[in-house]
């Protein structure tokens, strides 16, 4: 245990300089002379050579009887090349409030628990690192990025409140193929550059609450790339409650992700999750839930929030501010979809091709017209999106809403047809609403019957056989023309030329409306 701070008392874990910077831009003293992110220099009295630390960790003395071997260094300026690549570190390692002159090389090293807390270091190279315990990089400032590709973490990986800048490829955290047995906590993470977690496996939860993630620029416009990730519990892309972190002296916050205030969510202050750049979670599997709440997605031209082919029992999408680009849920498989109408983009596309979900559980009232606009916002007409929505509404007992969705499907389909199909579609729509509004057929038939009755009341036709006595009834005569295949006893009359055209129009109207009405009744009686 070696404490080189100028002050005394417990170490205060200060926050790092902004992402991409080694020191705070104001050039001030920060939190005093022990702040590793302040502009002031540290003299030789606080200097420790990296070579000495490496020798202690790789070939240090054995533990004294009844004691545990550990190295705890606080407030030091570490100079020289810090190389532990390929080595085995058997002791507990902890660095606090330290400045590292050069990057840390831990590639292919084996360690127990490694804690680097509130330290300033240019870069961390730890690909294929194997740890039996935790790896903590909380409240650290790492302007040159972190590489944890194919690392294996025995318990937790902690990145809370760290500020990380991009490497030469625009990646801030490269952790493709990483395996974490328990949780990955990265709350209030400040990144400039890509967070890459492709094919990562996390046994517990992945928390990015309150994070600020910015893509490095045009050469790499991706903020998060977590394609094919597997999370054993829950993914949090959500806000972080301020009360959990205000005045907290720990790197976990006071609530370790949970709320410490009994007040309702909207009565407390939160720092939203914010991302500038495209988000890719395609092909991910989340065994408990994906929670996207109190999040802001600032997407540029051609960028999208990609949730294609994800699998999870619950997707919660309840952002106060809708994404500024497209959202893709193509072929995703969800149990419960918990959402709100204001969370989905209205000026951009929501792709729902092959998207399946068991039930809809809106977090607030979701008008049916907004839900129909949701499925209608894709670039192309996809009938399965309407069928999926109608099936979910039927499972909830909302048969009328389900029919309204299928009616909207036919109207949307009409716009894709050639001119004859569109004309026939308009006729079907006006007549009986494609069979989902069969009451319209009855109204049109009644109107045709009334008009026919009015005409023939003033234009009585001559009888076919003058010697036969037939009781004239204009209402029954018009009804017999409008209702095909029904004989109402008024066939013994011979109208004049104009009357023949009127009778023919009534017959054609009756056949058309009756045929369409039968189709509508058939659709009403069908299930599934």
pLDDT at residue 105 tops 60: yes
Angle at 301 between CA 300 and CA 304, to 5 degrees: 70
Rounded mean pLDDT, 282-302: 95
**Tens-place pLDDT, residues 189-232:** 999 999 999 999 999 999 999 999 999 988 899 999 999 999 99
* Other beta carbons within 10 Å of 500: 12
* Per-residue pLDDT band at 55 (split at 50, 70, 90): very high
The predicted pLDDT at position 513 comes to 72
How many whole angstroms separate alpha carbon 520 and alpha carbon 523?
5
C-alpha distances in Å from residue 352, one per residue of 72, 163, 334, 415: 53, 36, 12, 19
C-alpha span between 486 and 504 (Å, rounded): 15
Rounded CA separation 140/116 (Å): 7
- According to DSSP, the residues that pair with 279 across neighbouring strands are 224, 305
Identify the pLDDT of residue 407. Answer: 83
Residue 29 has pLDDT above 60, yes or no: no
β-strands 462-463, 493-494: how paired?
antiparallel
Whether pLDDT at 283 is above 90: yes
Between CA 426 and CA 360 the distance in angstroms is: 32
- pLDDT digit string, tens, across residues 379-399: 788 888 999 999 999 888 888
Q: What is the pLDDT of residue 438?
A: 65
Overall average pLDDT of the 334-362 stretch: 92
The beta strand positions in 7-120, using DSSP E, are: 47-49, 70-74, 77-79, 82-83, 92-96, 99-100, 104-105, 110-111, 114-117
Q: The whole model's pTM is what?
A: 0.83
Residue range 435-449: average pLDDT? 74
Q: 245 has which bridge partners?
A: none
Q: What are the pLDDT digits (tens) for 318-346?
A: 999 999 999 999 999 999 999 999 999 98
pLDDT digits (tens, 9 = 90+) for 404-437: 888 888 888 888 888 888 787 777 777 666 667 6
Query: What does the block give as tokens for 392?
Result: 């979910």
pLDDT digits (tens, 9 = 90+) for 226-261: 999 999 999 999 998 888 777 666 777 755 555 555
Cα-trace Rg, the chain = 35
Taking the C-alpha atoms of residue 130 and residue 135, their distance in angstroms, rounded to an integer, is: 10
Given a cut of 50, is residue 528 above it in pLDDT?
no
Q: Find out if CATH 3.40.50 is the number for domain 434-526.
A: no
The pLDDT value recorded for residue 423 is: 84
The mean pLDDT of 292-320, rounded to a whole number, is 95
Average pLDDT value over all residues in the chain? 87
What distance in Å separates the CA atoms of residue 390 and residue 394, rounded to the nearest whole number?
6
SS3 373: helix
Token pair 């039996």 is at which residue? 132
Angle (nearest 5°) at CA 94 between 170 and 44: 85
> For the chain, what are the domain ranges?
44-243+268-298, 434-526
Tens digit of each residue's pLDDT (9 = 90 or more) over 110-165 = 999 999 999 999 999 999 999 999 999 999 999 999 999 999 999 999 999 999 99
From 117, 138, 114, 118, select the one nearest 126 (Cα to Cα): 114
What contacts 314, CB < 8 A, 6 or more positions away? 288, 289, 290, 334, 335, 336, 337, 338
pLDDT number for residue 383: 87
């Amino acid at each position: 245990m070696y404490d080189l701070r100028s002050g005394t008392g417990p170490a205060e874990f200060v926050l790092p300089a902004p992402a991409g910077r080694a020191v705070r831009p104001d050039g001030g003293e920060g939190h005093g002379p022990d702040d590793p992110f302040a502009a002031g220099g540290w003299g030789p009295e606080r200097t420790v050579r990296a070579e000495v630390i490496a020798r202690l960790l790789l070939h240090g003395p054995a533990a004294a009887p009844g004691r545990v071997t550990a190295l705890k260094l606080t407030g030091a300026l570490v100079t020289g090349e810090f190389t532990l690549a390929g080595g085995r570190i058997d002791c507990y390692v902890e660095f606090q409030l330290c400045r590292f002159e050069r990057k840390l090389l831990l590639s292919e090293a084996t360690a127990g628990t490694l804690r680097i807390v509130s330290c300033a270091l240019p870069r961390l190279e730890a690909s294929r690192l194997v740890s039996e315990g935790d790896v903590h990089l909380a409240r650290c400032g790492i302007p040159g990025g972190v590489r944890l590709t194919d690392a294996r973490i025995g318990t937790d990986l902690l990145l809370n409140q760290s500020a990380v800048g991009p490497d030469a490829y625009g990646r801030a955290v490269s952790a493709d193929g990483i395996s974490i047995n328990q949780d990955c906590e990265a709350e209030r993470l400040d990144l400039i550059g890509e967070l890459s977690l492709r094919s990562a496996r996390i046994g517990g939860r992945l928390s990015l609450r309150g994070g600020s993630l910015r893509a490095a620029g045009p050469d790499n416009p991706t903020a998060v790339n977590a394609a094919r990730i597997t999370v054993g519990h829950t993914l949090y892309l959500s806000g972080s409650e301020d009360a959990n972190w205000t005045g907290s002296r720990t790197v976990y916050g006071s609530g370790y992700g949970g709320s410490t205030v009994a007040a309702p969510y909207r009565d407390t202050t939160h720092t939203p999750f914010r991302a500038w750049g495209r988000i890719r979670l395609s092909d991910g599997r989340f065994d408990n839930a994906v929670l996207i709440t109190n999040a802001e997605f600032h997407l540029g031209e051609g960028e999208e929030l990609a949730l294609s082919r994800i699998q999870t029992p619950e997707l919660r999408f309840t952002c106060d501010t809708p994404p500024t680009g497209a959202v893709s849920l193509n072929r995703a498989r969800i149990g419960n979809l918990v959402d709100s109408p204001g969370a989905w983009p209205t000026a951009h596309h929501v792709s729902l091709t092959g998207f399946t979900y068991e039930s809809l559980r809106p977090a607030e009232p979701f008008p049916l017209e907004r839900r129909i606009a949701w499925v209608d916002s894709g670039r192309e007409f996809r009938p399965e999106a309407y069928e999926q929505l109608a099936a979910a509404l039927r499972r909830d007992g909302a048969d009328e809403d389900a029919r309204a969705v299928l009616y909207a499907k036919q109207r949307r389909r009409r716009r894709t047809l050639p001119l004859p199909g569109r004309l026939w579609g308009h006729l079907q729509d006006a007549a009986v609403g494609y069979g989902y509004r069969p009451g319209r057929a009855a109204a049109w038939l009644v109107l045709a019957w009334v008009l026919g009755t009015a005409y023939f009341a003033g234009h009585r036709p001559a009888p076919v056989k003058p010697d036969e006595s037939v009781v004239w009834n204009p209402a029954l005569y018009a009804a017999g023309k409008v209702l095909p295949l029904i004989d109402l006893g008024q066939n013994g009359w011979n109208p004049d030329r104009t009357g023949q055209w009127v009778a023919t129009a009534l017959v054609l109207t009756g056949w058309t409306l009756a045929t369409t009405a039968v189709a509508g009744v058939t659709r009403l009686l069908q299930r599934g």
